[in-house]
Amino acid sequence: MSEGPGPTAARLTGRPVTGERPVTGALTEVTLDGGHVVMVKHGSHPGAVRAESAGLRWLADTGTVHVPAVHGHDGRWLVTDRVPPGRPSVEAAARFGRDLAALHAAGAPAYGAPPPDGPEDAYIGLAPMHNVRGEEWPGWYAEHRVLPYLRRAVDEGTLRGTEAAVVERVCERLPQLAGPAEPPARLHGDLWNGNVLWGADGHVWLIDPAAHGGHRETDLAMLHLFGCPHLGRLLEGYQETAPLAEGWRDRIGLHQLFPLLVHTVLFGRGYAGQAVTAAQAALAR
């Protein structure tokens, strides 16, 4: 019988366990001796556990955004600190905007570069994500962030050929649509609202990264796609620290193609229309 979350937490933290509380099928809240609480997550794949652990450490290394401390992983389980929950606030949103800008400015060796100790074959949610390096963002984004999920969606019958053709035209025109060239940013990579925690300490905490080198507008586009409390103030804080290139709002849909196609692959036809609409909007600029 495989080891459960409690024994795993005891082994990886070196501390006795006094309690467990299941949160989801893959996530358990474990209380250690002395009252310290950790989260024990069961990974869908050994590469996913390793990638998440490496991503959290890579983000933490910058000293910019707040991420829970990693206590250890073994390829199947990941143990991190629990973030005591608080409420969203304007002040925390503005601070997070500034911190996110600083994270992006910390940079990456190349587009698609994984964290130093992270695997090239990583994951975004439950979908495989290959961290293949590229020197120019438009070609890299098309080849490694859009087309793999587009092809899978077509092969599985989730996206029709005529719809895929619209996305393919966007990929062909990416050099003209991408805006000014920017250096690779250090991305969280899966920055939807569920991975943004508003802590009791007044800070925003980030969990579940799919970290890699990419274009900073991609993280911001994902925040727009799935919503975020006080997003306007967050963006003001970001712009105060690292102003975005002119026309960035017009490129939001372009950067949303990646997460929308991932969701099309994972969750089906409901996201296919959104992906096509985003592609049509990009072409209409």
Place of tokens 């002119």: 246
Place of tokens 């996206």: 159
Place of tokens 């092809």: 151
The dihedral through the CA atoms of 164, 169, 170, 175 has a sign that is positive
Would you give the end-to-end CA distance of the chain in angstroms? 57
Is the distance from CB of 188 to CB of 195 less than 8 angstroms? yes
Place of tokens 């629990």: 82
Catalytic residue at 190?
yes
The residue from 190, 208, 219, 250 that is catalytic is 190
Residue 118 sits at φ, ψ, to 5 deg, of -100, 160
Q: Which residues contact 209 (CB under 8 A, 6 or more apart)?
A: 52, 55, 56, 58, 59, 67, 188, 189, 190, 195
Positions annotated as catalytic residues are: 190
